[in-house]
Chains A and B, each alone.
Chain A
Amino acid sequence: MKDALQRAVSRAWPALAAVAGLLLAWELGCRLTDMDPATLPTPTRVLEQGWLARDVLWRNLLPTLGATLAGFALSLTTAFAFAVAIDFAPPLRRALFPVFVISQTLPLVAIAPLVVLWFGFGLLPKILLVALVTFFPMLVALVDGFTATEPEIARLLRAMGASRRGVFLRARLPSALPFFFAGLRISITYAVVAAIFAEYAGAARGLGIFILNAKNNFRPDLVLAAVALSSALTLVLFGLAALLQHLAMPWRRT
């Protein structure tokens, strides 16, 4: 365990050093050019103002987190249901995939206000938008994952007398796990952005609406504080997905 921690630190330090260097350059750049904080605040000012506004930031973080997780849960369950249906009835793929691809071509900027118009300022439109954005990557990951089953393993199971369902449960489902987690890591990074965008289009509370208000009040420091918070949220969710994969696939650890 301690070794793992040491390895993690030794792997992470170049990235940490790069981020620290970037922040240092930003800070020095602002100070040396006497930059107006209403245009570009220094990182220390962002941190300071963000800390002072911590209560209101926290209150706005929770709805965003809720919308992200609920939307993600919705897209996961529907993607799984559709992926299983497509796996058992491949013609469905030809019928449904064009529709799903089109759903991915819709510009979020245009769709988000419409969804808010239809479903109001509550949680529902946010959940729907997060689900819309994350559904397709999860579906593709699962469908491809099922298909990636080694044919020899499937043939072996059939020779043992396994039913189609038995082959699915014993071979296709576990074969899809690496694909599932790859899709999970990708779509979780989209999910937070989608939630913020949905709030931006209209919400009572949330990081999106907080950012909009801060911008309208000429407070780029608070905008950046909220942006940093949303990045941190995404990173935490990404880390959780990686941890989940680590726990769910113990054979990959050796």
Chain B
Amino acid sequence: MTPHGPHPTGGTLRLEGICVTRGETEVLKDLSLSVAPGSFTTILGPSGAGKSTIFELLLGSLAPDAGRITLDGAPLKPDLFAYMPQRDALMPWRRILSNVTLGLEVQGMSRAAARARVLPLLPRFGLDGFERHWPQQLSGGMRQRAALARTIVQDRPVMLLDEPFGALDAMTRRDMQRWLEAQRDGAPQTTILITHDLREAVALSDRIHLLSPRPARVVRTFDVPLPRPRLTAAPTEAALKLENDILDTLMQGDTT
């Protein structure tokens, strides 16, 4: 087990007054948002708004020009995040099991220990029986589940999912969203999702931060108090109303 225990949730993550300029382009301008521990928080915004830049800031591969990022008021520590990139980024030269254990091995766990820890979790991801397969033998949905498994087993306080289902076909995407929602029973891990899919945001999130087009700032924050599970049937009246609200806000943002 990790020193944090299972599903450590960390504290409240806060971004305040963040500005990022790349070359001549202002990417983020006075962006502020917070993420409550254990919550599923979505950063929703138009394509090219600079959503992925926020993850770069959190992961420390980019420093903001202004503003600060804190966890419970203190600067970020390393080993806080487990990151899932847009494409699955599975290594073609590693079998599925070794791809899933990658993060644990990088943390210094022995290969045998990492395998022993990950193997019993594979059925939950629908990957049992595929641990010896190469990534290119799997369908897009299975690859994405393997990438999610690789992210979750790292047992970091916060998961960062960068448009995880963007490359999937509509039906597989729906399956994966439903599956991800089912994973949030029990003690949920703090999750930050980046997406431009409005329906995905409403279906999965506790809270949605809506970004403006570039230079991005948070236009409005929506709480999503809808009961779960939400993806078992067609969207409810309340969900559709919220979708329309968000859409309206987006449109207004466009005209100003």
Contact = CB atoms under 8 A, between A and B. Distances in A.
Interface of A: 150, 152-153, 155-162, 166, 170-171, 174, 177, 249-251, 254
Contact of A249 (B81, B85, B91, B93): B93
B248 interface: no
B79 to A, nearest CB: 6
B107 A160 contact: yes
Residue of B61, B103, B136, B154 with highest tally of chain A CB at under 10 A: B103
Nearest to B91: A153
30 contacts: A150-B89, A152-B89, A153-B91, A155-B83, A155-B85, A155-B89, A156-B83, A156-B85, A156-B89, A158-B61, A159-B59, A159-B81, A159-B82, A159-B83, A160-B102, A160-B103, A160-B107, A161-B78, A161-B79, A161-B106, A161-B107, A171-B91, A174-B91, A174-B93, A177-B93, A249-B93, A250-B134, A251-B134, A251-B136, A254-B137
Interface in B58-89: 59, 61, 78-79, 81-83, 85-87, 89
B87 A152 contact: yes
Nearest to A157: B106
Contacts of A153: 89, 91
A26 B1 CA distance: 75
B89 to A, nearest CB: 4
A142 to B, nearest CB: 16
A166 B136 contact: no
Nearest to A252: B92
Contacts of B134: 250-251, 254
Contacts of B59: 158-159
A136 to B, nearest CB: 26
Contacts of B136: 251, 254
A162 B59 CA distance: 12
Nearest to B137: A254
B51 to A, nearest CB: 15
Interface of B: 59, 61, 78-79, 81-83, 85-87, 89, 91-93, 102-103, 106-107, 134-137, 154, 160
Contacts of A155: 61, 83, 85, 89
B76 to A, nearest CB: 13
A162 B79 CA distance: 11
A150 to B, nearest CB: 7
B3 to A, nearest CB: 15
Given A152-B85, A161-B78, 5 more contacts: A150-B89, A157-B102, A159-B83, A170-B102, A174-B93
Nearest to B93: A174
A161 B109 CA distance: 13
Nearest to A162: B106
Contacts of A152: 85-87, 89
A34 B136 CA distance: 60
A155 to B, nearest CB: 6
Contacts of B93: 174, 177, 249, 251
Contact of A170 (B106, B154, B160): B106
Contacts of B87: 152
Contact of A160 (B61, B86, B92, B106): B106
A254 B133 CA distance: 10
B221 to A, nearest CB: 26
A175 to B, nearest CB: 8
Contacts of B160: 159
Contacts of A166: 106
**A-B residue pairs, 10 tightest by C-beta:** A159-B83, A152-B89, A160-B106, A251-B134, A174-B93, A152-B85, A160-B103, A156-B89, A162-B106, A159-B59
Contacts of B106: 157, 160-162, 166, 170
A250 to B, nearest CB: 8
B223 to A, nearest CB: 29
Contacts of A157: 102, 106
A150 B91 CA distance: 9
Contacts of B81: 159
A157 B93 CA distance: 15
Contacts of A150: 89
Contacts of B92: 251
Residue of B81, B87, B92, B106 with highest tally of chain A CB at under 10 A: B106
B85 A160 contact: no
Nearest to A166: B106
A174 B85 CA distance: 20
Nearest to A253: B134
A187 to B, nearest CB: 23
